[in-house]
Amino acid sequence: MVDRADRMQEAPSGFSRRGFLKGMMVGAGAVSLGSYEAVAQMISGPNARPVRGWGVPEGLVRLSGNEMPIGPSPRAVEAVLENVYSFNRYNRNRDIYTKIAERHGLPVVEWPPNTFTPPGAWVTLGCGSSEVLFAVASAYLRDGTEVVEASPGYAGVFRTAEAYGAKAKWVPLTSDFQQDLDAMKAAIGENTRVVVVTNPGNPTGVLVPPDALKKFVQEVPSDVIVFVDEAYIEFSKNPEDRVGAAPLILDHANVIVARTFSKIMGMAGLGVGYGLAQPDVIDKLHQNKGGRPSMLSTNAAVAGMDDHDYQDRARAVTWAGQEYFASQFDEMGIEYVPSQSSFMLINVKKDADEVVRKLREEYNVMVGNGKRRWEMDTWLRVTSGLQEENEAFMAALRKVLVSS
């Protein structure tokens, strides 16, 4: 018997949803083989094959963590392999501070031998940008202080700040999912030490226009840190938007920018990111960090930074995924937020807990749960994957929405 969801699955595509379902039969343990067989028999053929994502078990469709689906940069892999027999040493790639500073048009400083970091640097490294977020909270947000951030937002700085006894002032997004910079400015009080702008926003994917951010920085009191988290800015459609807030640092001692190698550079599993700021601020961040990225990750980062082909491919796959999702959601009448990031926020108008659970348990598909993370009861956040992963998600979502 062919139900409505099956008919909806006849959308044109190069990838066989039959394969995805067959893949679930092979790859997932959460559902009984019987139900896989039943579903597969409905829409599967003898040549079905499993979805094969990079770096995940066969059959698993992981669109929950905003990871890069195309595998790592070959140049980064090469750099890891070249150094793999020397990780008995504390060696680090000594070009990394210079390359990062040059990339953002910031002053380059000498790194004398036998110093732990280059004195006077405008760059600090982190084990992922998460460590930079941690350092910002540790350095500026202690008992009785306050951080201002949009809600829903990433809230990474706040997670640490809270443990230090700081409070948050959450400023609602506008009705079109923009960070409300005027309201954020107005929310700054005498205890505010940090304002967080995530650009583009997470979970929204909405970009703060460069002019608006510049004006905001000029208007915020100079003793309040403006922390700009640019984890996803390299996915922006307009190359000028990818420049981000780094140039503002030259004139503003209160601006800190964070970037990561986890997203456009495809190195989430290596854990390397960085912060940019004036040297006094960088010194303060250094005093508030515990770790350092490994020698393998710094070598991969230096090599990956120059792999523009990889970054172009990463953007192309991400944008293709977004276009595909948008066309599917339009067809299904599902509300979504147009995104300049690697993920998309969608309103399925059903309980997100239930939809996420069914996608995972019945179809081996993982997506972000807006209810659990942002109290957005009927919203999901889905990362752009490979086309076949995206199609697998869509096929599963259609099924789940009919059955929920």
Ligand X SMILES: Cc1ncc(COP(=O)(O)O)c(C=O)c1O
Strand partners for 171: 150
Please answer whether residues 261 and 67 qualify as being in contact, where contact means their C-beta atoms are separated by less than 8 angstroms: no
Calpha distance 282→242 (Å, rounded) = 22
By CB atoms closer than 10 A (0-12, 13-18, 19+), residue 258 is buried
Binding test (CB under 6 A) with ligand X, winner from 198, 254, 311, 340: 198
To 10 degrees, what angle do helices 308-332 and 74-83 make? Answer: 130
**Pattern 23-62, binding to ligand X, x per CB under 6 A?**
----------------------------------------
Which range of residues in 81-89, 122-130, 278-286, 365-373 is near ligand X by CB under 6 A? 122-130
Binding test (CB under 6 A) with ligand X, winner from 9, 130, 288, 322: 130
Which range of residues in 127-135, 160-168, 278-286, 392-400 is near ligand X by CB under 6 A? 127-135
Of 9 and 262, the one with the shorter C-beta distance to ligand X is: 262
**Pattern 62-101, binding to ligand X, x per CB under 6 A?**
----x-----------------------------------
Give how far Cα 133 sits from Cα of 155, 156, 253, 288, Å.
Answer: 10, 6, 17, 10
Q: Which ranges in 306-351 belong to alpha helices (H)?
A: 308-332
**With binding defined as CB under 6 A, does residue 231 bind ligand X?**
yes
The least distance separating ligand X from the CB of residue 18, rounded to whole angstroms, comes to 33
Which range of residues in 8-16, 123-131, 279-287, 305-313 is near ligand X by CB under 6 A? 123-131
CA quadruple 66, 106, 248, 155: dihedral, nearest 10? 30
Phi, psi of 381 (to 5 degrees): -120, 120
Residue 124 region by backbone torsions, left for phi larger than 0, else alpha for psi between -120 and 50, else beta: beta
The residue with its CB nearest to ligand X is: 128
**Pattern 297-336, binding to ligand X, x per CB under 6 A?**
----------------------------------------
Binding test (CB under 6 A) with ligand X, winner from 64, 124, 160, 202: 202
Note the residues at the interface with ligand X (CB under 6 A): 66, 128-130, 154, 156, 198, 202, 229, 231, 260, 262, 268, 273
